[in-house]
Amino acid sequence: MSRSHISSHIDINIEELFEHSPTMSNTIALYPLSNFTFSTKEAQPEEDPSVSARLQRLQNNYEDFGMRRTVEGILVVHDHGHPHILMLQIANAFFKLPGDYLKPGEDDIEGLKRRLDERLAPPVESKQFNASHGVDNEWEIGDCLAQWWRPNFETFMYPFVPAHITKPKECKKLFLVQMPERKVLAVPKNMKLLAIPLFELYDNAARYGPQLSAIPHLLSRYNFIYQ
């Protein structure tokens, strides 16, 4: 049998494959980056001037409240038919997902909505936007895609709890955030909000670190429909 004849038998319509595959039942609509309105708001300085200061505060809080619970959102849009993740860049240096640690006893979903509002919602007193911009759209929090664990008061986090660790110091959960058709996002003046394509994140831990570079793997379970 010729190679061309073989090819004709394995030519598969990708959309039909997603439609009939039980493992790819999660279909999500992605809206173009150009649909979203971006503005700025007052700067939000980092709580800690250095990594060591952050870890020291983590240790202090652990002694008072126990394990820190952190939530972050994976906000997905598309540009030219390819998924992009909205990430904050701080001091033109490192990248992070929007979100932060929770209050003691706070619900994961409600806490993430609060943190997303703090970071990206327009100021309440802002008059330059209206409902047509999607300013009133609430955050739609989807699946929890990953959990990362900090076993000690160190920078390293793992997607599992090491066997010898009985009291991890932090648990970070990453949630899919399904973006609406339109929304206003207000970015603190000391930060940038960048749309990073999946192909840039993939296998690029050297630039983005292990958590962010794993996002393409986390999203591979979904079938994206580009609106």
- What pLDDT is recorded for position 138? 87
pLDDT per residue over 167-186, tens digit each? 999 999 999 999 999 999 99
Predicted confidence (pLDDT) at residue 3 exceeds the cutoff of 70: no
Which among 44-53, 134-143, 200-209 has the top mean pLDDT? 200-209
Flag the least confident range among 22-36, 50-64, 172-186: 22-36
For residues 158 and 148, is the Cβ–Cβ distance under 8 A?
Answer: yes
- What pLDDT is recorded for position 47? 83
* CATH 3.90.79.10 given to domain 27-226: yes
pTM: 0.85
Which among 23-37, 117-131, 137-151 has the top mean pLDDT? 137-151
Mean pLDDT of the chain: 88
Instruction: For the chain, give every domain's residue range.
Output: 27-226
What does each C-alpha distance from 43 to 17, 53, 55, 92 come to in angstroms? 46, 20, 23, 14
Flag the least confident range among 19-23, 139-143, 184-188, 214-218: 19-23
Flag the least confident range among 35-39, 56-60, 126-130, 200-204: 126-130
Predicted confidence (pLDDT) at residue 46 exceeds the cutoff of 90: no
Pairing of strands 37-41, 26-30: unpaired
What does each C-alpha distance from 68 to 33, 72, 131, 213 come to in angstroms? 33, 13, 36, 23
